[in-house]
Chain A
Amino acid sequence: MNLTPYKPRDWKSHPPYRYEGYKSSIKRAPLKRLVPLKQTLSEITGPLFGHETVQEVDRDLTRNAGTGGEAMGERIIMVGRVLDEEERPVPNTLIEVWQANAAGRYHHEVDQHNAPLDPNFIGAGRCKTNEKGEYRFVTVKPGPYPWLNHPNAWRPAHIHLSLFGPSFITRLVTQFYFPGDPLIPLDPILNSVPSKSGRQRLIASYAHDVTEPEWALGYRFDIVLRGRQATPFEESAR
C-alpha cells in the first residue's frame, strides 16, 4: 500500500483543551502531554456515509419537524464549501447541524431557558456536500441565549456543525457565528480560539448573491479540514 498521511492539527488555529474563561473546560481538559502518533491505516481511513443517510428534507430546518408547519423566525439560507488546506473541495461528506430556535431555546430537555419552544422547529439537520464540496441549508436565524458560565453570560447566535471529511483524522466539530453580533467579543467559547484570524474564520459572511428576493437572507460559511501531506508513507501489501 502507498498511502498519504494528513497534515498535523494546526494548534495555532484550534483552541487549547483548557481555557480559563470557559469554566466547563477546567475539569474536562486533558492536561498530560499528548502522545505523538505516526499515522497508520487506522487514522487515514474513516467512515463514509452513503446517500441513503440523508433525505432532501433534512437540509430544510424550517420544515423538517414532521408537523407540516413552518418554523417561526427570520428565515435564512446558509451555504458554503468544504475544502482541505490545499483548497481542494471535499465532496460527498456528511454535515450535521444543530441550533437553538429563533427565541434562543433548544429543543432539548436540558435547556430550561424561559423562552418559547417552537413546535415546528427541532433545530437539527444534515446534508452531504456535492462534487464541488458545496452545501446548502435553509433554517431560521438562532437567537442568543443565557448560560451560567459567568454573571450575565449570553452566547452569541451560533449554529453547531459536525463534519467528517475523508478519514478518521479529518473530523471536525465547530460552531459558526453571525457578522455584527455584539455578543461576539464577550464569548469565551469563541475567544478560546488563540488567533484573531482564527476567530474571524468562525464568523459567516452576509452573502447578497445567496439572498433570495422576498424570501430569505443568505450567509456563507466555508470550512477547511486537514489536508494531505505532500509525500506518502510506504507500507508493504499484505
Chain B
Amino acid sequence: MRQTPSQTVGPFYSLGMTRQPMNRLARDSMEGEKIRIEGRVFDGDGEPVPDAMIEIWQANAYGRYNHPDDKQEKPLDSSFTGWGRSGTDRSGIFSFETIKPGPVPGAGESLQAPHINVTIFARGMLVHAFTRIYFSDEAANHADPILSSIKSKERRKTLIARREDQDNRPVYRFDIRLQGENETVFFDM
C-alpha cells in the first residue's frame, strides 16, 4: 500500500491541535535539569511565521524514551511523556518548558549527544519538516554521529540551541529558518 499524501496544516490548525496548551513537559517533581526552549520561526524573507506549529520528542534526563521499543535499563518516569507541542504567536515565537535530555544510543556502539527531535508544520508547508535541537554547552556534540554527518560546519550551527540563562534559569534559544542563507538543517529520514 502507498503512503497517504501529506497536506498542509493550514491557517486554522490551532482549532484541532493547540486549543489546550501542550508545551509544558516538565513538572517540579521530575528529575533532571528544568530548561526552557524558546525560538522563532522565520520564512525566506526573514519574516516571522505566525502560524507554524512545533512538536518535540525527547528522552528523559537519563537518556531513555518513554516508549516500549526503548528497552534500555535506565530509570523511567512514566509522568514524563517526552512529547510536547507549541504553536507560534504573532511574532513567530514558540516555547517549551522541559527537562534536558540525557544521551541516547546511536548506530552500533555509538552514543548520540543529548538532543530533542523536532517536527515543524505551518500554513504553506505541504509536508512537515524534521530537525533536531542540540545544546551549546554539550562537549558530546563534537562526537555526535548525526551532527558530524552534516558536511558544512556552518550549517551544523543551525542545530545548536544557544544557552542564555535568564533569572538563573537555563534558557536555550533555537530559531528555525525555513528558507534562505541560514536555512536550518532539515533531515530526510
In the complex, how many residues of chain B place their beta carbon closer than 8 angstroms to a beta carbon of chain A?
73
Complex-state Cα separation, A108 to B126, whole angstroms? 21
A interface: dominant SS = loop
Q: For residue A31, which residues in chain B have a CB less than 8 angstroms away from its CB? A: 44, 179, 183
Cβ-closest chain A residue relative to B150: A35
Kindly provide the distance from the CB of A168 to the nearest chain B CB, expressed in whole angstroms.
5
B interface: dominant SS = loop
**Contact, CB under 8 Å: B146 / A37:** yes
Kindly provide the distance from the CB of A236 to the nearest chain B CB, expressed in whole angstroms.
6
Report the interface size class on chain A. Answer: 35 or more
**Contact, CB under 8 Å: B69 / A35:** no
Kindly provide the distance from the CB of A36 to the nearest chain B CB, expressed in whole angstroms.
5
Complex-state Cα separation, A82 to B40, whole angstroms? 34
Cβ-closest chain B residue relative to A227: B1
Q: Is A56 part of the contact surface with B, judged by Cβ < 8 Å? A: no
Cβ-closest chain A residue relative to B45: A27
- The 8 Å CB contact of A198, one of B5, B49, B189, is B5
Q: Is A193 part of the contact surface with B, judged by Cβ < 8 Å? A: yes
Find the residue from A14, A27, A44, A190 having the highest chain B CB count within 10 A.
A27
Complex-state Cα separation, A160 to B104, whole angstroms? 34
Q: Is B7 part of the contact surface with A, judged by Cβ < 8 Å? A: yes
Within 8 A of B (CB), among A28-85: 28-32, 34-48, 83-85
Q: With contacts A111-B12, A123-B16 known, what are 14 further pairs, Cβ within 8 A?
A: A8-B188, A14-B126, A27-B124, A28-B179, A30-B184, A108-B15, A160-B10, A160-B16, A162-B9, A169-B189, A173-B9, A193-B5, A236-B109, A237-B73
